[in-house]
A and B are shown apart, each in its own frame.
Chain A
Amino acid sequence: MDKNKDLAEFCEGVDKLTGKKKLMVDLSTWISSDRVDIYWRQNTNRYPSYTPAARPAPDLLIDGAKELYAVCVVQADDSSEQLRKTMRKAVDIWERMVENPPNYDQELSKDNPSAVLVATGQSRNGHLFSGTKNREHPEIFRR
C-alpha cells in the first residue's frame, strides 16, 4: 500500500472519468480529510488500495479515526434495480464478514469494519435513490 501518491498522478485524467469510477472519485474526494483515509479495492494511482480478504469485496474502505467502514458503491441514476442488487451484495458481504472477519493486513484504526454501507451519487444529499423516482421525498419525524 502506497499512501504517497503524487498530486499530478491523482489529477491526471480525473475530468475524463465516467461511470462508477468517476463516482468513486467524487465520493472519495467528499469523504477524505486529514482524519479520514480512503482505500480502494482496485489498485489505481489515485488512492491507496487494500487487499481484499474474500470475494465479492467492498469497493472502498473508509478509515475514520475510530470507525472503519466497508462501502459498496453503485451508480444507480437510471435503475433502482442496480441499487437493490448492490444492497443484496452488501448483505452477503456483511454475512461473510460476521462469520469470517476479514482481518485486513493494512494498518487501520480497527481490525474489522464497524459496518458495511451502500453509497450512491445521492449519498451527499442524504439519500440513495436519484431524483424524484421511487417516492424519494423526505419524511420528518415528530417527537
Chain B
Amino acid sequence: MADKDILPQPEFAATQEIIRSAWGFAKDRTESDEIGIGALLSSRLATKEDTQNESSDPAALYYTPGSLHVHHWESIPWFLWND
C-alpha cells in the first residue's frame, strides 16, 4: 500500500487509522480533483530510520478523491525533498 513518494515510509498505527477513516468518509461524500483531506505530519516519516532525535520539517499527507494520483506526501514548503 505504501508507495515511494506517495505515502511515507513508516506511519504510526492510530494516526494511520484515523487518516484512512477520514479518507473513506470523504470518498463516500463527494469527489474532488483539486482539494484533499489529511493530516499535518513531519519529515520524521520520510525515512525508515528512527529520526526522533533530529529536527523535523513539516509535511502534509493527504488524499484527493477524484485525482489521477490520489495520495500526496509532500514537504512544506514543497521543494525541500526535490533536491
Contact = CB atoms under 8 A, between A and B. Distances in A.
Contacts of A30: 58
Interface string B61-77: 01010000000101011
Interface in A88-120: 88, 90-91, 94-95, 97-99, 101, 112-119
B83 to A, nearest CB: 14
B56 A124 contact: yes
A125 interface: yes
Nearest to B50: A138
Contacts of B36: 94, 114-116
Contact of B37 (A36, A64, A115, A135): A115
B22 A91 contact: yes
B42 A126 contact: yes
5 contacts: A27-B40, A83-B18, A119-B39, A126-B10, A126-B42
Given A67-B78, A91-B22, A143-B4, A128 B72 contact: no
A97 to B, nearest CB: 5
A6 interface: no
Contacts of B35: 94, 97-98, 101, 112-116
B35 to A, nearest CB: 5
